Amino acid sequence: MTIAELDMKKKLLGKTPEELRKIVLEEGLPGFTAGQIAQWIYQKRARSIDEMTNISKSGRQKLSEKYETGVIPYTGLQVSRDGTKKYLFPVRCTLKSGLGVTDDCLAEESTLESGAVEAVMIPDGGRATLCVSSQSGCRMGCKFCMTGRQGFHGHLSVADILSQFIAVDESANLTNAVFMGMGEPLDNYENVMRAIEVLTADWGFGWSPKRITLSTIGVMPALKKFLDESRCHLAISLHDPFPEERFTIMPAEKAFDIRDILALVRQYDFTGQRRVSFEYTMFAGFNDSIRHADALSRMLKGLECRVNLIRFHKIPDFPYDCPPDAVIKRFQERLNANGVLATVRASRGEDILAACGMLAGKHKE
């Protein structure tokens, strides 16, 4: 089914049992049909209404006149030498700004734009982690990120976010999810949180919040709402402990000061099962000195956290390269010596432009 055809129908994906019950009753179907639909789309990963065989044929036909599951098949797939897989999905997203964007308001209140997003499946032993996108493009404008460099094309709907979990070949075997793909998750707060609700609800995917990590540059006040309303892990994109330097590569620093972000994070308990980590992409000659390591250590002192050091993957028109491994190791050892747990994240999928900061919504020619 094409995107144009899907636009003509409302999506079931992302609906709660109560919302599904309202739909089936309006269509003259028994109320218990709502539970059947929820089981089919969230637990059995049905991609079409026709697959819902315990619903009468006439009932399926009636639903299909107005509704579609909302699962959109991928249109491109690349496989890395290390087993990482990058999926390309067509999407129709909304340019409407602010919180509260939902599937139901798209056609009536917002401008729909065609776009494409990528999701990355990362295998690691017995784990299969899906790196999921929440926007087409991004408004944050980070200079070292291909997604940020392309500008903002629109918010993904709840259905388009969840569709990534169902449409990938590994859907039934996914163990974890990271909202680290295209877009700033907290800039599309309501839709991302509804997607997380579906992922963690007993009537939905039934995942533990511990299986989900959300990455953000620190968009406030949405960050506080996320910390209050979710038990998922949090990853903060930090990249430089000096605000004036951070601003030169992350323009959003002007609106969301890293010192304010850290002050907020310190108000929450991360000594239990919930974790907070900090992503630190390393640029040779810019943020890889002992001075930076010591400043980062002071910034995070007393906070139960982990720093993930990320090798920078070269992109066009950005002046810095990745430091040598010896420099990265020295930086890591300095943090550890200062009492800050630091690890070096293994690079995955670089040969298919699937590594950190390389997603651009199109495949390498």
Q: Is 133 helix (H, G, I), strand (E, B) or coil?
A: coil
- The closest alpha carbon to 157, from 223, 91, 73, belongs to 91
Which token pair is 79?
A: 């496989």
Measured torsion, CA atoms of residues 121, 122, 128, 131, in degrees rounded to the nearest 10: -50
Please state, in angstroms and rounded to a whole number, the distance separating the CA atoms of residues 242 and 240.
6
Q: Is 314 helix (H, G, I), strand (E, B) or coil?
A: coil
Identified catalytic residue from 68, 118, 184, 253: 118
Examine the residue annotation and report whether 356 is marked as an active-site residue of this protein.
Answer: yes
Please state, in angstroms and rounded to a whole number, the distance separating the CA atoms of residues 80 and 358.
14
Examine the residue annotation and report whether 118 is marked as an active-site residue of this protein.
Answer: yes
Please state, in angstroms and rounded to a whole number, the distance separating the CA atoms of residues 271 and 348.
29
Under DSSP, the state recorded for 347 is P
Identified catalytic residue from 93, 138, 232, 356: 356
Residue 71 CB neighbours (<10 A): 24
Sorted by sequence, the CB contacts under 8 Å of residue 90 that are 6+ apart come out as 3, 72, 75, 114, 115, 116
Catalytic residues: 118, 356
